[in-house]
Structure 1
Amino acid sequence: MTGQKASHQSGHIVRPYGDTTGDGMVQLSFTLPIPHSKVAEGAAAQLANKMGMDPALVVHSKPMGPDFTFFVVYGRVHHLVDTSKVEVVERDFPLLSPKEANAAIKRSLRRRLTVVGACIGTDAHTVGIDAILNIKGFAGEKGLEYYREIKVVNLGAQVSVPQLVDRAIAEKADAVLVSQVVTQRDAHLLNTREMSAAFREAYPADKRPLLIVGGPRFDETMADELGVDRVFARGTTPADVASFLVHRLAPLPTRPSAKAS
């Protein structure tokens, strides 16, 4: 199970809010490969208009070197959003404290749970993987290294997929965590698909470690499409990841339902 897709049930129709309720005003920023000029500002307004902003007002423009211009455009859109049709991936497992996660792992596995983490391909941005794995953690939460029942192997940046597979096999990894920040030309998606294919080739289906990917540009609904067990997007904390690992690898006992009196 790769996460519970759920629709918001309120059935409420909403439109953007700018100066007054329901006025449809939005702000949009983008860069055009045009030198800064009046023509560039006209091109930005034209683009925003074609995107559905009417009227579209260029409120800020700034040269980005000699050949590019950055714009902020403010204007009205007429689209509506029906929140009853919004699909999101809800957390389908309890959020545990480090003490609770450690106790569950010790009780269920009777050994430490091994996690191998890395940034794969040419991605050299380790901030994300370090925030989850390193003891200093993120957003006031300590990373997985703080959990005494979790063994963390952080391979760092620019790790090739074969290196990751080999190390996961050598460490007898229960889970593999991959962080991808570089997204140009969908590099994060291509790298993830390559990684998941390599693990499926290297392991029998019932022996493969959990494959988890994360990064600011991932869509949490794409786990099945990417061939991984879970996708974590921006805002993920170490407790989210630790709780998911426990949920999948060392599940808590099911509480008996209360009997009717």
Structure 2
Amino acid sequence: MTGPIIRPYGDTTGDGMVQVSFTLPIPHDKRAEGAALQLAKKMGMDPALLVHAKPIGPDFTFFVVYGSVTHLVNLDEVEVVERAYPLLSAKEVNLEIKRRLRRKLVVVGACIGTDAHTVGIDAILNIKGFAGEKGLEYYREIKVVNLGAQVLVPDLVARARAERADAVLVSQVVTQKDAHIHNTTQMSAAFREAYPAGRVPILVAGGPRFEEGSAARLGVDQIFGRGTTPGEVASYLVHEISERKARAA
């Protein structure tokens, strides 16, 4: 059985071998390769082997370095965010929505800001779904309004109000200069300004670069990362609706 202290594995158990990739803002030549190895050594890789170097235009070079590190990982110190709600089948989700709301659950989804990557939001909303699960359009008791890509936050708020949305799902794939963070906090602030206290729709953000446990800091109710399935989202929405009704009782 693996103990609480482990090291990376490369060629043999406990050899500490890792592989990292990075880009340096210098043209590709021997000096650039030396700079890459210097950086790797300062990162704690010793010895370090340069296994790949490729120019990216005239002024940048991409590197892959393989080497050994002495760092240890303590599994007892790893914090895991556990799912706080059960996973439900599509039939169970429909029954719970019908029982709790006595009408369809309205979900508005979009990619906000300049983000044009709709693969994530479509995987959750479109009937085709993801990972063998059908999207929220498949659920009989859910009405889906998919606004697509590059939706301005004021337009999202206006459409959510017009549709009387119970939940708003936003997808953020573009992360340069923390665009996903800025867009999400702007979105959450706009909804809280536009709605009375206690009437804000369920706000959900999803994307591959969001940190687990960051929902409160971003002002949303839930964060979903890579690999999230439509069933997980549907189950969460039912859970949150139940929680809100319980708090309001």
Note whether the superposition's TM-score is higher than 0.5. yes
Question: 1:55-204, aligned counterparts within 5 Å?
Answer: 55-204=47-196
The one of 26, 30, 36 equivalent to 1:34 is: 26
| 51-60 vs 124-133, greater mean Cα deviation | 51-60
Give unpaired runs (5+ residues) of structure 1. 1-9, 252-261
> Following the alignment from structure 2 to structure 1, what is the Cα–Cα distance between the partners of residues 136 and 53?
44
The one of 180, 204, 218 equivalent to 1:212 is: 204
- Secondary structure at the counterpart of residue 128 of structure 1: helix
User: Is 2:31 aligned against 1:52?
Assistant: no
| 154-163 vs 31-40, greater mean Cα deviation | 31-40
> Following the alignment from structure 1 to structure 2, what is the Cα–Cα distance between the partners of residues 11 and 90?
22
Match of 1:232, as an amino acid?
F
**CA apart distance, 1:57:** 1.0
Match of 1:120, as an amino acid?
I
> Following the alignment from structure 2 to structure 1, what is the Cα–Cα distance between the partners of residues 168 and 91?
22
> Please, what TM-score do these two structures have when normalized by structure 2?
0.94
> Following the alignment from structure 2 to structure 1, what is the Cα–Cα distance between the partners of residues 75 and 190?
38
> Following the alignment from structure 2 to structure 1, what is the Cα–Cα distance between the partners of residues 230 and 242?
17
> Following the alignment from structure 1 to structure 2, what is the Cα–Cα distance between the partners of residues 154 and 220?
25
**CA apart distance, 1:250:** 4.1
Counterpart contact for 1:126–1:157, Cα < 8 Å: yes
**CA apart distance, 1:88:** 2.2
RMSD: 1.2
> Following the alignment from structure 1 to structure 2, what is the Cα–Cα distance between the partners of residues 93 and 22?
37
Q: Could you tell me which residue of structure 2 aligns to residue 6 of structure 1? A: none
- Secondary structure at the counterpart of residue 178 of structure 1: strand
> Following the alignment from structure 1 to structure 2, what is the Cα–Cα distance between the partners of residues 172 and 100?
23
- Secondary structure at the counterpart of residue 206 of structure 1: coil
Distance 1:48 1:137, change over 3 A: same
- Give CA deviations for 1:143-179 in whole Å, capped at 9, x if unaligned: 0000010000001111111111111111111100000
| 194-203 vs 242-251, greater mean Cα deviation | 242-251
Counterpart contact for 1:11–1:84, Cα < 8 Å: no
Q: Could you tell me which residue of structure 1 aligns to residue 35 of structure 2? A: 43
> Please, what TM-score do these two structures have when normalized by structure 1?
0.90
Q: Could you tell me which residue of structure 1 aligns to residue 235 of structure 2? A: 243
- Give CA deviations for 1:112-161 in whole Å, capped at 9, x if unaligned: 00000000011111110000000001111110000010000001111111
Match of 1:74, as an amino acid?
Y
> Following the alignment from structure 2 to structure 1, what is the Cα–Cα distance between the partners of residues 50 and 131?
36
| 64-73 vs 168-177, greater mean Cα deviation | 64-73
| 56-65 vs 143-152, greater mean Cα deviation | 56-65
> Following the alignment from structure 1 to structure 2, what is the Cα–Cα distance between the partners of residues 66 and 163?
41
Percent identity between matched residues is 76
- Secondary structure at the counterpart of residue 173 of structure 1: coil
Counterpart contact for 1:34–1:69, Cα < 8 Å: yes
> Following the alignment from structure 2 to structure 1, what is the Cα–Cα distance between the partners of residues 230 and 241?
16
Match of 1:76, as an amino acid?
S
Counterpart contact for 1:199–1:208, Cα < 8 Å: yes
- Give CA deviations for 1:9-58 in whole Å, capped at 9, x if unaligned: x9711111111111111000111121111111111101111111111110
- Give CA deviations for 1:64-115 in whole Å, capped at 9, x if unaligned: 2222211110011111111111112211111111111111111111100000
> Following the alignment from structure 1 to structure 2, what is the Cα–Cα distance between the partners of residues 89 and 119?
25
Give unpaired runs (5+ residues) of structure 2. 244-249
